[in-house]
Structure 1
Amino acid sequence: MNAGIQSAALRGRRILVTGAAGFICFHVARRLLDTGVQVLGIDNLNDYYDVSLKQARLDRLARSGFAFARLDIADSAGLMREMAAFKPDAVIHLAAQAGVRYSLTNPQAYASANLTGFLNVLEACREHPVEHLIYASSSSVYGANTKLPFSEADKADHPVSLYGATKRANELMAHAYSHLFAIPATGLRFFTVYGPWGRPDMAYFSFTRKIAAGEPIDVFNEGRMERDFTYVDDVVDAIVALVGRPPQPARDAPGTTPAPHHVYNIGNHTPVPLERFIAVIENAVGRRAIKRMLPMQPGDVHATYADVDDLAAAVGFAPRTSIENGINAFVDWYMDYYQLQHA
């Protein structure tokens, strides 16, 4: 994947990004700005987690070429106004209500952001056509699947969380709009993305915070889980490479109609046992974890493992960040951001 060539091809383009104050989108927007792209960021700055962290990300994006609109994507009229005024060449839609466990207690947030909000994005791209819509899906769509690694060719019709169900619904909605209105759309099934400026609700963030503070960490399923942890820079490489490669009309899978729509896994292709993951954080922080072993939680799965051959064939995707290097980078950022010292 030749990042330099891909970046040069985007210079001067106009790209609207949703979820601009969020973890992944912040990194995507920063990369786009570095390549000379005009970026309009949209975010509602909700309080699902620390708003000051979201604002700090936006502060880092405040420079020439970046504009920001505080807007909820569930606001159809507001989104239409921004699309009409900005006239983007492409849309990277990463805004969503994230989190598996939170969907058990606040399902309405997922209906609003992930279903109504996504419908509004599709309608905006229908009313104001773009060259490419890239949107966030999730490895959670694989739900109860047990065949590993997860492949895009596998069925994804047994979600085990409302979050996963909404993400699978997004894929089906996008395919329908691509078929009906020729909207070139690419869905990305993210696999446990981590890195600096990450989300406080993610395990690696809370593990780091609690280990550094000498507090116990909750280890679910007594540590017998594996995750395909994917470093954020590798994810950004893939997204930037895909922007200028909208899918062509084709059959996604048996039984579908021709549509300019494609879905890719985007993972590290190297699942890591949870116990090893915790050990890497311990080494980076310089302190042993106090572990509180707990049973499996509703909505969780035992393992995630991405088959990334399709993405590799499309844009040369090849994750290059080891779990040790990635966690060290995150912990260094964490200690600096919260003004802490390594143990």
Structure 2
Amino acid sequence: MKTLIVSAAIAAATLTAGTASAGTMADIQARGKLNCGVTGGQAGFSAPDASGTWHGMDVDYCRAIAAAVLKDPNAVNFIPTTGQTRFTALASGEIDILSRTTTWTFSRDVDLKFTFAGVNYYDGQAFMVPKSLGIKSAKDLDGATVCIQTGTTTELNLSEYFRKNNMKYEPVPVENNADVQQKYLAGGCDVYTSDGSDLASTRSSFKNPEDHIILPEVISKEPLGPLVRQGDDQWADVARWTLNALISAEELGITAENVDKLSAGSDNPDINRLLGKEDKLGEMLGLDAEWAKRAIAAEGNYGEMFARNLGDKTPIALPRGLNAVWSDGGLMYGLPLR
């Protein structure tokens, strides 16, 4: 019953916001700020530091959009959301875009009337346990108590995995990442399940991260990406093509350091188109010719963002894996700039 009530509330908010969403970019430009929905604190994706400055992959993406649309990467209000509140915040218009490790699913796209701008991280659900338990595989979790964030795809994935493997578990529902950490570390559950990147992020914040292991099984596909409300194709295009510009920039060798030099002109027509020297891509979006140049200059290309926030020189130390560009064996693929 609770699920039906929440779904109805989101649907009602979506219908209300749908007609108002046309002209989102004009509203943002009039306001002078982009309202970006993020997590309350997930290292590597979106979290404030001790001074209140936000960092992470999802944060960098919103700064890139602000640079493209408002010519200022710092013109962003970062609004924390939970798994339960994120969709209502977007549907109601409280935020302009949700950039919060959100899985692209059929129901979220179709039933809840959202438009995904693409995938900025290919992930999958996994399990983390204390090393002291001696567990080596998810197949050994029969009878375990499992901490899980409510309002996420992990709830259904967990139920289906245990049912398929004829195992039982006791769910320990928790609303946000900080509460999950406290519950898990206090022994309130045997296992924490979430996206693999979230587990790596969470473990990196522990006092003794080496005392916890992430089990080898990946039990789902979790294509994570930013999303906007349906009903405003122009704003969806800006969100989609800003992400594509960051991925394409890595493929083309455009970085925060060399983007100014390359914007003067290149022998590569794709570089020229992206940076505004050929064709009129910016005009098609309702922006100026240098929208992508500013987006790339803000926080670098996709690879630079990944390395700074999640890469092997960070405490999270995630490999590129599926999130490498296609020419390096990954799934990240810049759409044609023509």
Same fold (TM over 0.5): no
Q: Which has the higher contact order (CA 8 A, sep 6+)?
A: 2
- Which has more radius of gyration? 2
User: Please, what TM-score do these two structures have when normalized by structure 1?
Assistant: 0.28
User: Please, what TM-score do these two structures have when normalized by structure 2?
Assistant: 0.28
